[in-house]
Amino acid sequence: MKNVVISGTGLFTPPHVITNEELVASFNAYADLQNAQHAAAIAAGERAAIPHSSVEFIEKASGIRQRYVLEKTGVLDPTRMKPRFAPRPDEALSLMAEIAVDAGRQAIAAAGLEPGEIDAVLCAAANMQRAYPAMACEIQAALGCGGYGFDMNVACSSATFALQEAVNAVKNGSATRVLIVNPEITSAHLEWRDRDCHFIFGDVCTALVVEAEDTARSAERWRVRGTKLVTQYSNHIRNNAGFINRCEDTDPDARDKTFMQEGRKVFKEVVPMAAEHIERHLHTLGLEPTTVRRFWLHQANLGMNQLVIKKLVGADLSGTQGHDLAPIILSEYANTASAGSIIAFHKHRGGIRPGEVGVICSFGAGYSIGSVVVERL
């Protein structure tokens, strides 16, 4: 069976930053407006007042200090509280495809390839801009890639699940070189009006090129030693937006049509699942967690990553040594859904010597967990 490598990566970072200070000021203004509008109902005990948010609350709950977004004026408008995107005609490149093309070109160039040498495109993200045609087909055409393309959604594990699909496609000969793109426009499905989650997400797009080791031309290659996926159904992270909504005569702006989670339950259930999953995967390859040079983990919550690493190797992620073992990018990027672990891999894979091993791992809604063990060549 042929060896498969990751030969190139790309990262599109949006131009706009929302700091925690800006976000809190906007949310608190929204809360004041709502509380004033519904003052009588609140006084009568018929409605709860919306409490203020704070920078201290956000950083303690998540470790997030800012996030990048494609559009910030709509998000920070207390009378709107969502991005303001201009509609595009069908003939124009869609917004999701636009950021995927940017990251995709970077990854293809990093692999030393031309777009025409790519013969499969996988668009893997936590949400798609439309039902059809597939985003991957539009991205494939815009880049000038050949072969085939399809979309896939496994929420925050979409990228790692796509990596397994890409690796298998190369191994079985259905594709020669696969481009994976993860265009995450999470600002469009985050509920910015909910204090418990208004700070969680940011926008971004990552990209990876996967191909056979013996034909890869890139100077930097990462052999995929193994992939392992698992899902376990849970309602604790959910978004009910979908094409059936219009037939149910429900409010398209209802709370359940955007991101919802029971955060404490997710933390309690997913952390041990993720740690056990990684350990089992490493054992199937004859490896121990303590022999792993670096972990590129899903970037949802600083506390989750700290506990996963502590369970695996007993290490503390505070300080320079901890960052070297399991880099944290969520303080800058926030939770970027499936792209988080790939951002960490893209930005923090230096200093690893040939023969050393790392783990890319995601965990999120589904529940879903995906791990990819890679070796620096």
For residue 270, being part of any structural domain is answered with yes
Question: N- to C-terminal Cα distance for the chain?
Answer: 18
Q: Is residue 265 part of a domain?
A: yes
286 Cβ contact list (under 8 Å, min separation 6): none
Q: Give me the pLDDT at residue 199, please.
A: 97
pLDDT tens per residue across span 96-139: 999 999 999 999 999 999 999 999 999 999 999 999 999 999 99
Residues found in the chain: 377
Has residue 112 been placed in a domain?
Answer: no
Structural domain contains residue 257: yes
Question: Is 156 tagged catalytic?
Answer: yes
Q: In angstroms, what CA-CA distances link 272 with 12, 138, 168, 278, 369? A: 32, 39, 28, 10, 11
Q: Is residue 304 part of a domain?
A: yes
Let me know if residue 4 belongs to a domain.
no
200 domain residue, yes or no: no
pLDDT digits (tens, 9 = 90+) for 281-307: 999 999 999 999 999 999 999 999 999
Burial class (CB within 10 angstroms; exposed 0-12, middle 13-18, buried 19+) of 184: buried
The CB density around residue 144, as the number of other CB atoms within 10 Å, is 11
Mean pLDDT, residues 157-170 = 98
Q: Is residue 351 part of a domain?
A: yes
SS3 230: strand
Domain that holds residue 303: 223-376
Pair of tokens at residue 335: 């939770």
Average pLDDT of 85-105?
Answer: 98
The pLDDT tens digits of the residues spanning 231-268 come to 999 999 999 999 999 999 999 899 999 999 998 999 99
CA-based nearest residue to 330, from 301, 359, 305: 301
In whole angstroms, give the CA distance from residue 208 to residue 159. Answer: 9
- Whichever domain contains 351, its CATH number is 3.40.47.10
Given the structure tokens 């993720």, which residue do they identify?
Answer: 274
Domain count, the chain: 1
| pTM beyond 0.95 | yes
Residue among 123, 145, 156, 205 flagged as catalytic: 156
Q: Is the dihedral of CA 125, 68, 259, 264 positive or negative?
A: positive
Q: What's the pLDDT tens digit per position in 166-176?
A: 999 999 999 99
- DSSP reduced 3-state for 109: helix
